[in-house]
Amino acid sequence: MFEIKKICCIGAGYVGGPTCSVIAHMCPEIRVTVVDVNESRINAWNSPTLPIYEPGLKEVVESCRGKNLFFSTNIDDAIKEADLVFISVLSNPEFLAEGTAIKDLKNPDRVLIGGDETPEGQRAVQALCAVYEHWVPREKIFTTNTWSSELSKLAANAFLAQRISSINSISALCEATGADVEEVATAIGMDQRIGNKFLKASVGFGGSCFQKDVLNLVYLCEALNLPEVARYWQQVIDMNDYQRRRFASRIIDSLFNTVTDKKIAILGFAFKKDTGDTRESSSIYISKYLMDEGAHLHIYDPKVPREQIVVDLSHPGVSEDDQVSRLVTISKDPYEACDGAHAVVICTEWDMFKELDYERIHKKMLKPAFIFDGRRVLDGLHNELQTIGFQIETIGKKVSSKRIPYAPSGEIPKFSLQDPPNKKPKV
């Protein structure tokens, strides 16, 4: 069997970088070169400060960089010298979750490899299997034809996104009835046929994969004349958009139907904790809706650089003219962001937000002081926060009848909860 000694990976982003770093780490006899046209990104991979944040990634890269792991802009030579080129040779879809990518790569549920059903294609499949067998048990390596492999990737992310949209739809019903979506999720998750994964209600899913892969599935169904199937999967995206708009509308209505010139602290900008990735983050959309209403946003995230936040919010589909420079301030810590704010909005479930000194925050906020928990990270602190004096709104639950009640106004809403926003960020 042909033995792979040199691997080239085209693309040094959130997938290529971590994936090939782990391959180099687990296969010291294989030379792995990651190439990209972006010179600044390659320079970052070769520096002490990596271009992406992922728990455990820095240690993996430093263990083999310069030995059998290399980052380069010399794409042509890397391809010519390689025995295997990721992306262009085989279908080897990744099933990584940002924040746990290194753990997922070292101990995957499965490795899926698709290839042509020709002798040459099957030899290539077996050669790549041999690479993964350095650390993955053979029974976890699943081989298919190319179409099955590619559709498996789309379907996996579509099913996960569907579960999030499903529980988010129930969260709206819980808020209307007095049920607690966390209790409902626990109850249905105890059913072994359903399971308890991806039943966490929130302000909506983000990241580079879920929306992209669901929309790819929608497009594929439309192209193959399967309109009913396309409409079914489109609803997953529509529900996610609705959840974001609903949360933003709830903020506006709770703040006495206007946020114009009010200071709102946005805690968290990454699409989820333990990553610096902001692609399709719900924070972008919430910020957009609040900026459109004239709110002054003070944003803090422990891992997202200031420049990235400004770039995301300055996109033509998100803001207009000088909106960002007028309405957005990037804060260096959460206390600075909350100082003098009318409301605190938690958009990312960073663990540190559970440990903040909320009595200190409350003293510096304008009254009445609101907390809008879009990630249910403060569930265990509600009594304490109410004692301090906060008015609390959270996803899928009425916190207390003693608080200033949330009631959607009978007037025409600031933006329609049914219609998609006029401008959609392409992040």
Determine the straight-line distance between the first and last CA of the chain, rounded to whole angstroms. Answer: 43
DSSP reduced 3-state for 426: coil
Where do the DSSP E strands lie in 184-278? 263-267
Using DSSP bridges, classify how beta strands 328-330 and 343-346 pair: parallel, antiparallel or unpaired: unpaired
> For 93-112, what is the mean pLDDT?
83
% of the chain residues with pLDDT over 90 = 84
Residue-range domains of the chain with CATH: 6-136 (3.40.50.720), 151-239 (1.10.1040.10), 244-394 (3.40.50.720)
Average pLDDT value over all residues in the chain: 91
Residue numbers belonging to the annotated binding site for NAD(+):
11-16, 36, 41, 98, 209-212, 279
Rounded Cα–Cα distance for residues 164 and 173 (Å): 15
Cα–Cα distances in angstroms (integers) from residue 186 to residues 94, 180, 189, 197, 199, in the given order:
29, 10, 5, 10, 8
> For 159-181, what is the mean pLDDT?
97
Using DSSP bridges, classify how beta strands 343-346 and 263-267 pair: parallel, antiparallel or unpaired: parallel
Tokens at residue 319, please?
């803001």
Tell me what pLDDT residue 412 has.
40
> For 267-277, what is the mean pLDDT?
95
> For 256-276, what is the mean pLDDT?
96
Question: Is 80 exceeded by the pLDDT of residue 215?
Answer: yes
Cα 309–chain centre separation: 15
Residue numbers belonging to the annotated binding site for substrate:
94-98, 153-157, 193, 200-206, 271-272, 375
> For 244-265, what is the mean pLDDT?
97
Rounded Cα–Cα distance for residues 26 and 130 (Å): 12
How does pLDDT run across 34-44, given as a tens digit for each residue?
Answer: 999 999 999 99
Any idea what the Cα angle at residue 67 is, between residues 62 and 72, rounded to 5°? 85
Torsion of the alpha carbons at 391, 203, 105 and 218, rounded to the nearest 10: 180
How is 335-355 classified by DSSP, letter by letter? HHHHTT-SEEEE-S--GGGGS
> For 258-268, what is the mean pLDDT?
98
Residue 294 identity (one-letter amino acid): G
Residue numbers belonging to the annotated binding site:
11-16, 36, 41, 94-98, 153-157, 193, 200-206, 209-212, 271-272, 279, 375
How does pLDDT run across 360-417, given as a tens digit for each residue?
Answer: 999 999 999 999 999 999 999 999 999 999 999 999 998 865 545 444 444 444 555 5
142: β partners: 112
Residue entry with tokens 């030379």: 31
Rounded Cα–Cα distance for residues 169 and 150 (Å): 29
* Residues 6 or more apart in contact with residue 213 via CB below 8 angstroms: 153, 154, 157, 158, 161
> For 314-318, what is the mean pLDDT?
95
Buried b (16+ CB within 10 A) or exposed e, 207-238: bbbbbebbbbbbebbeeeeeeeebeebbebbe
Read off the pLDDT band of 421 (50, 70, 90): very low
Tell me what pLDDT residue 416 has.
55
Q: Which of 82-86, 219-223, 294-298, 423-427 has the lowest mean pLDDT?
A: 423-427
> For 288-294, what is the mean pLDDT?
97
Report, as residue numbers or ranges, the catalytic residues: 209
Q: Which pTM was predicted?
A: 0.85
CB 375 within 8 A of CB 244: no
